[in-house]
């Protein structure tokens, strides 16, 4: 059987909210950009204190596969 290598373009979309204590919309936006994120294989995280932030995210992301392309033949064994 001739195997081939395929590149599968995939997006994992986590949807949720960060409730942030801030003086303005722009400050709240900057706090999330600079202090919040997701590490692959880990957790959603924030470097802000618990007094400044709370969040709610679904643990299971939406998965979207958009394109599959053949890259090359699989090396024969």
What are the tens digits of pLDDT across the range 8-20?
999 888 888 899 9
d(CA 57, CA 38): 11
Note the pLDDT tens digit of each residue in 24-45.
999 999 999 999 887 777 777 7
CA neighbor of 10 nearest in space, from 63, 62, 61, 60: 63
Print the domain residue range for 67: 4-72
Asked, for residue 29, whether it belongs to a domain, the answer is yes
Residue 77 lies in a domain: no
51 in any annotated domain? yes
* Full-model pTM: 0.62
- Secondary structure, 3-state, 15-56: CEEEEECCCCHHHHHHHHHHHEEECCCCCEEECCCCCCEEEE
In a domain, 50, yes or no: yes
46 CB-contact burial (10 Å; exposed 0-12 / middle 13-18 / buried 19+): middle
Token pair for residue 18? Answer: 């960060």
For the chain, the domain total comes to: 1
């Amino acid at each position: 059987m001739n195997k081939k290598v395929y590149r599968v373009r995939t997006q994992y979309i986590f949807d949720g909210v960060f409730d942030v204590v801030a003086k303005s919309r722009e400050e709240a936006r900057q706090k999330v950009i600079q202090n919040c994120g997701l590490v692959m294989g880990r957790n959603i995280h924030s470097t802000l204190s618990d007094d400044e932030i709370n969040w709610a995210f679904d643990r299971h992301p939406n998965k979207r596969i958009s394109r599959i392309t053949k890259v090359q033949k699989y090396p024969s064994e």
